[in-house]
Copies of this chain bind each other. A is one copy, B any other.
């Protein structure tokens, strides 16, 4: 940590503060987006979705963002943002709202968010097999931040340990398949919840890097579903993809918690980076 940073700012740098929204009026919120979640020039899409989810849950009688379908229109920037939650249906089991994140009078992200309430004690009626291969044991994974000394930005907030076999693109040797595996946790000790899951589903480097593409790959649409209340501890991220064509690629991520349960699943469609 940077010893020059004032104590007050240190306290405010936690994930809870970074995703806080202030209710101004019915369905209207304000937030100050945290520059700690910048990747390259823009805020991470998962971080933006966490802020959207905060507003959606605040405006809902339900506790969890079960389904979030987000379209990214413009890069999000650190600083002030407004959120508009337009409730479209409120039901006993689920409620749906259109949530917009606006900066400088322009919509940055639009999302249809359906909230519901999950119970941490519920056991699944049926669960598919765990992904194979698993993420290697933590001790066998690589903390690239430790190598690169880039504690600023996203890597300063999020602690990821990568299956090195899926990171060959870093050394100019992309694996040729869009698989990516890593452990994930927030550096501030915030245990996994609905909001950190939103970050987790968009935290992996673009899987298309493994196919030889380069550079930032802007997400156009990302839908993720929260499937269970995550247990404390590291989250395992399993990324994959099915097709890269016409400059578009898909990326699927499954998030498994420390008790071996599927807690979130996502698919995004993104533009291939331009190097």
Contacts and interface: CB of A to CB of B under 8 A. Distances in A.
Interface of A: 66-67, 69, 71, 73-74, 88-89, 93-94, 96, 98, 107, 110-112, 114, 116, 118-119, 122-128, 178, 211, 220-221, 223, 225, 227-228, 241-250, 254, 262, 265, 267, 269, 271-272
B88 A221 contact: no
Most buried by B among A124, A126, A262: A126
B88 A107 contact: yes
Contacts of A98: 98, 110
B244 A124 contact: yes
Contact of A118 (B116, B122, B244, B246): B246
A71 B245 contact: no
Number of copies: 2
A260 to B, nearest CB: 12
Contact of A66 (B107, B110, B128, B248): B248
Closest 9 pairs between A and B when the two form their complex, measured CB to CB: A69-B69, A124-B245, A223-B223, A67-B221, A126-B244, A128-B242, A125-B244, A73-B89, A71-B112
Chain A, interface SS category: strand
Given A66-B269, A94-B220, 10 more contacts: A66-B248, A67-B71, A69-B221, A71-B114, A73-B89, A123-B245, A127-B243, A127-B244, A242-B265, A243-B262
Contact of A245 (B88, B122, B254): B122
A189 to B, nearest CB: 28
A73 B93 contact: no
Contacts of A88: 71, 73, 107, 110
A91 to B, nearest CB: 9
Given A88-B110, A93-B271, A127 B245 contact: yes
Contacts of A247: 93
5 contacts: A96-B110, A124-B243, A127-B244, A221-B225, A227-B245
A185 to B, nearest CB: 22
Contacts of A128: 178, 241-243
A262 B110 CA distance: 28
